[in-house]
Amino acid sequence: MAKYQKNEADLAALKAVLGENLKEDEPIARHTSWRIGGPADYFLRATDEAELVVLLKTCRSRNIPFLIIGNGSNMLVADKGWRGMVVENRLDAFTVNDLGDGRCLLKAGSGALLGALSRRIAKLGWSGFEFAATIPGSVGGGIVSNAGAHGGDFSKVLRRVAVANANGELDILPAEKLELSYRDSRWREQVGNNKVPLGNLGNELILWAEFELQQGDPAAIKQHIDEMTDWRRKNQPQEPSGGSVFKNPPAPFGSAGSLIEKAGLKGHVIGGAQISPRHANFIINLGEAKAQDVIDLINLARKTVKEQFGADIEPEVEMLGEFD
Ligand SMILES: Cc1cc2nc3c(=O)[nH]c(=O)nc-3n(C[C@H](O)[C@H](O)[C@H](O)COP(=O)(O)OP(=O)(O)OC[C@H]3O[C@@H](n4cnc5c(N)ncnc54)[C@H](O)[C@@H]3O)c2cc1C
């Protein structure tokens, strides 16, 4: 498929839908946790579900490649950026339906940020979502990778999601249909513009999600969240990063971080990026890192670990946009 090129006709069509909310040539680095990523041809910070669905249909009908970003904490975006439309999702409203039997159903917009949502739910005395408090992502991004921490993950509490497909048709999917497993879901099959020329338009867009939670003691839940937050601060790098870069390989190899450390790569620098001296499965941005610096470190780590230990370590983060 030919590379997409920004053009006046598409710009006019997008302006007709989005008006002044449409931005051009927005640096994606402003919207990723790595602080890396070149410009998006067209950009929207979405706060309105109806507007987002109309935008999806417009992009589909005009073959404009579409990328949705939650909190940009699980993606490496190319230095050349994204040709087409990028949406930062801030559909973050939530409601709690008390079932009256010690359980509730939490319905949250897919753009809700996990830390803030988790703390607000904790204050209301609902337990089960604490695991997400220290994951710097959104509800939508969390479902895509079945994010998890401290023994919890999305598959344990998610009941159903509402999605819009590329034609703008809405559907409700029960959690059993989402193929949630270790850092994986039905969305991960196709992500990345290498496999899907129209970006995320090959997949459904998650609009909201419903979780089943249990009644708990607000003070105890808060204490648990505070302890997990402290643990992160002490054990993980605080510089801009994409979190764990590699999935852990299957037994008997041990964690990806320990393999990279044993291979002697902890602290290794390429350009403006470094394998964190604190945690070898993190690559940090020292200030001016390029996506290519990170790619070079990823390739070096994979090659060295394979040569020294025979283990294949697969990236957990997604590479998106216009790489050479
Ligand atoms: C410091 C740090 C610590 C981390 N710790 C953890 C951890 O403990 N556990 C863990 O699992 N992960 C962790 N991560 C990784 C990351 O935070 C999670 O994967 C998170 O759930 C990603 O959410 P996001 O909104 O940032 O996704 P994004 O990076 O914005 O998006 C990821 C993918 O999901 C797609 N997507 C996003 N929203 C939608 C939607 N509404 N509909 C359809 N597709 C969508 C995007 O297009 C992209 O393909 C960490 C990351 C960092 C930077």
202 pLDDT above the threshold of 70? yes
Cis peptide before 39 (omega within 30 of 0): no
Give the span between the Cα atoms of 134 and 100, in whole angstroms: 29
Answer yes or no: do 105 and 213 share one domain. yes
What would the DSSP string read from start to end of 67-114? EEESSS-SEEE-TT-EEEEEEEE----EEEEE-SSSEEEEEEETT-BH
Residue 209 lies in a domain: yes
Looking at the fold, whether 40 and 80 belong to one and the same domain comes out as: yes
Q: At 174, which helix (H) or strand (E)?
A: strand 170-174
Cα separation of 174 and 188, whole Å? 17
Q: Does 218 reside within a domain? A: yes
Task: Name the residue at shortest CA distance from atom 34 of ligand 1.
Answer: 141
pLDDT of residue 203: 79
Residue 1 domain-assigned (yes or no): no
Domain finish residue from 209, 234, 259: 234
Number of domains in the chain: 3
What tens digit of pLDDT does each residue of 250-305 get?
989 999 999 999 999 999 999 999 999 999 999 999 999 999 999 999 999 999 99
Residue predicted with more confidence, 67 or 191 = 67
State whether residue 250 is helix, strand or coil: coil
Q: Which two tokens stand for residue 226?
A: 């505070």
**Which of 86, 81, 83 shows the shortest CA–CA distance to 6?**
83
Burial of 84 (0-12, 13-18, 19+ CB in 10 A): buried
pLDDT digits (tens, 9 = 90+) for 238-256: 999 999 999 999 989 999 9
CATH number for the domain harbouring residue 73 = 3.30.43.10
Q: Is 68 in the pocket of ligand 1 (CB under 6 A)?
A: yes
Is 307 inside a domain boundary?
Answer: yes
**Does residue 182 fall inside a structural domain?**
yes
**Is the CB–ligand 1 distance for residue 276 below 6 Å?**
no
The catalytic site residues sit at: 183, 244, 316
The verdict on the CB of residue 245 being under 6 Å from ligand 1 is no
- First vs last C-alpha separation in the chain: 15
Ligand 1, atom 4: nearest CA belongs to which residue? 243
Structure tokens belonging to residue 182: 């270790």
Same domain, 48 and 178: no
Residue nearest to atom 11 of ligand 1 (CA): 147
Inside any domain, residue 48:
yes
pLDDT score recorded for residue 120:
97
Residues 17 and 116 in one domain: no
Domain containing residue 172: CATH number: 3.30.465.10
Same domain, 213 and 245: no
Q: Are residues 229 and 241 in the same domain?
A: no
Instruction: Among 210, 234, 258, identify where a domain stops.
Output: 234
Which of 73, 89, 105 terminates a domain? The answer is 89
Q: Do residues 230 and 127 both lie within one domain?
A: yes
- Interval 297-322 mean pLDDT: 94
199 and 106, same domain (yes or no)? yes
On whether both 25 and 79 belong to a single domain, the answer is: yes
> Is 42 part of any domain?
yes
Percent of the chain with pLDDT over 90: 87
The CB of 149 under 6 Å from ligand 1? The reply is: yes
DSSP 122-170: HHTTEES-GGGGG--SBHHHHHHTT-EETTEEHHHHEEEEEEE-TT--E
Same domain, 275 and 191: no
Q: Is the pLDDT of residue 190 over 90?
A: no
Residue 154: pLDDT over 70: yes
The per-residue pLDDT for 189 is 67
How far, in Å, CA of 202 to CA of 193, rounded?
Answer: 10
Alpha carbon distance 175, 305 (integer Å)? 36
What pLDDT shows up at residue 194? 44
- Count of C-beta atoms within a 10 Å radius of residue 25: 12
Is the CB of residue 191 below 6 angstroms from any atom belonging to ligand 1?
yes
Would you say residue 3 lies in a domain? Answer: no
ipTM over 0.90: yes
Q: What is the CATH number of the domain that holds 272?
A: 3.90.78.10
CB of 76 closer than 8 Å to CB of 34: yes
Pairing of strands 39-46, 94-98: unpaired
Helix (H) or strand (E) holding 18: helix 8-18
Regarding whether 101 and 81 lie in a shared domain, the answer is no
Same domain, 269 and 223: no
Contact status, residue 43 vs residue 110, Cβ threshold 8 Å: no
Contact 211, 129 (CB under 8 A): yes
Distance 147 CA to ligand 1 centre (A): 7
CA dist 323 and 82 (Å) reads 9
What are the tokens at 154?
């999305």
Expressed in angstroms and rounded, the spacing between residue 201 Cα and the centre of ligand 1 is 18
The domain containing residue 46 runs over which residues?
8-89
Q: What residues contact residue 274 under an 8 Å CB cut-off, 6+ apart?
A: 267, 268, 283, 284, 286, 297
In angstroms, rounded to a whole number, what is the distance separating the alpha carbons of residues 126 and 96?
9
Tokens standing for residue 36 = 């890396």
